[in-house]
Structure 1
Amino acid sequence: MSLFKKSVALITLLLILDQALKIWIKTHMMLGEEFSIFGNWFVIHFIENNGMAFGMELEGEWGKILLSLFRIFAVCGIGWYLYDICLKKAPLGLIVSIALIFAGAMGNIIDSAFYGLVFNDSFYQVATFLPKDGGYASFLHGKVVDMLYFPLLEGRFPDWMPIWSGEHYIFFRPVFNIADSYITIGVSFILLFQRSYFVKNK
């Protein structure tokens, strides 16, 4: 099996894991519901967002469309780059890293493009797949499902600290999904091992 076919198989597996968890969350929980996996340190907390990784977003309807189109163009570019480095037999670590980034971006595109069409909303109800009255949004206007929450530390900043004096804090506050994790891991690997990934031929 070629490197590219192996990378496609890896991406397919990663997407199945990502979408399986998101669909389970969407069809078994209402927005805001949560349950503990590992004490208070690892919690499944169901939220949805309109935008980028870790809940960031562009405001307004046009912001949503622009973000969705940017994602699609970015995934096409990443896919072409992955194919190219596979043909050139790039280091396996780089191929895996790009495959992770591609799978993460693709996983969130699926939510944004199709979840609004195939699910109703999750406000005060568990969503239904292919509801009779149609979905909650049009194509490219779906929301990304997030659920992974790691509030590892919680407390208050000391009174002597400037700016945040006495304020309540939680670390790590963002709620994210598996696709976000793929992107973070892929980018981190590239940054950590770039010298071995991008060795120039003499």
Structure 2
Amino acid sequence: MTRHPAIFARPLPAICFIVLALLLDQAIKYLVETSLPLQQPVPVMPMLALYRTHNLGVAFSMLSDAHGWFIVGLRIAIVAFVFWLWRRTSPVHHFAHLGFVMIIAGAIGNIIDRFVYGHVIDYVLFYTQTWSFAVFNLADSLITVGAAFIILDEFTVTRARKG
């Protein structure tokens, strides 16, 4: 059985996806920054609110005390590493290539925030009366789902080899 190359293993579709994801991410963040009150929940539905906050660190506010340029450098290194993985991964790994472009788009989106605003704009909050999840944004979601796709690809490829 011949496997067809992944669409996002090709540069043009990958770049188009990244650009579209960046445009959507930045448009939403602009609207959030100009329309939502700072650190005041705006309920959307039970357990979901819009909540504008500024993140000086990385995911889940880790490294918030680190120097801003260290965070930017770290994100650039991650983008470079994921790009290297994208180039080195066989084009038949569909989920992996989708995951790579999602991670690259998300990381670049948060890098742009650092340069434009000096912080990352987060705005999605899941919560209950006794618990709340870290506030996040579309770029964070792209990174998380992208990583899940890469893991999924590992499972599907391993299963295909055994089968």
TM-score by length of 2: 0.82
Partner of 2:77: 73
Contact kept? 1:97, 1:185, Cα under 8 Å: yes
- Answer yes or no: is the 8 Å Cα contact 2:54–2:122 preserved in 1: yes
Q: 1:90 aligns with which of 64, 84, 92?
A: 92
What displacement does 1:49 show? 1.1
Output one character per residue of 1:142-198: Cα deviation in whole Å (capped at 9) or x when no partner: 1100000011x33xxxxxxxxxxxxxx31x421111111111111122223313347
Counterpart of 1:132? Answer: none
Name the residue aligned to 1:12: 19
Matched, 1:49 2:31: no
Alpha-carbon distance between aligned partners in 2 of 1:23 and 1:95, rounded to the nearest angstrom: 28
User: In structure 1, which of residues 152, 175, 178 is the aligned counterpart of residue 135 of structure 2?
Assistant: 175
1:60-91: CA deviations, max 9, x gaps?
5xx32211111112212222332443xx4232
Query: Contact conserved, 1:90 with 1:197, CA < 8 A, in 2?
Result: no
Q: TM-score, normalised by structure 1?
A: 0.68
Residues 94, 153 of structure 2: 8 Å contact kept: no
**Which letter does structure 2 place at the counterpart of 1:110?**
I
User: Following the alignment from structure 1 to structure 2, what is the Cα–Cα distance between the partners of residues 193 and 78?
Assistant: 15
Partner of 2:106: 104
Give the Cα–Cα distance (whole angstroms) in 1 for the partners of residues 26 and 87 of structure 2: 24
Match of 2:4 in 1: none
CA contact (8 A) 1:34 1:45 kept: yes
Residue number in structure 1 paired with 2:153: 193
The aligned amino acid for 2:147 is V
The number of equivalent residue pairs is 153
Give percent identity, aligned residues only.
29
> Alpha-carbon deviations, 1:112-149, whole Å to 9, x = none?
1222xxxxxxxxxxxxxxxxxxxxxxxxxx11000000
Q: Considering only aligned residues, what root-mean-square deviation do their CA atoms show, in Å?
A: 2.1
The 3-state SS of whatever aligns with 1:173 is coil
